[in-house]
Amino acid sequence: MSTDRQRPREGVPALLASLVTTLETDRVDLVDLERASGLLRFRAASEGQLIFEAVDGLADRFRLEAATFWFDAEPVLRRGYERLLAELPR
């Protein structure tokens, strides 16, 4: 059984084109934040510009959740990357 989340996003190109036209810039990144990595979610929360909020306060909750996750995960990930890099042959 197919759900909305599993179906291709046919409307995404049209939405992106509409945003580019409306905002009068091609500097638009359109991302599915429910499927995004922790780092992308954090960058969107800290650097992104909100253009629509379906429910009052939803963007603030997203920012808090994204920052909390990244601040917890980043030090652990960094140590793991450093360990892997140190083990690579030179």
Flag whether 1 is in a domain. no
Per-residue pLDDT, 11? 86
Band (pLDDT 50/70/90 cuts) for residue 2 is very low
pLDDT tens by residue, 19-50? 999 999 999 998 889 899 999 999 999 999 99
Per-residue pLDDT, 43? 96
Flag whether 39 is in a domain. yes
Domain, as residue range, for 18: 12-87
Flag whether 5 is in a domain. no
Q: Is the pTM of this model over 0.85?
A: no
Q: How many domains does the chain have?
A: 1
Per-residue pLDDT, 8? 55
The residues near 63 (Cβ < 8 Å, ≥ 6 apart) are 45, 46
Flag whether 6 is in a domain. no
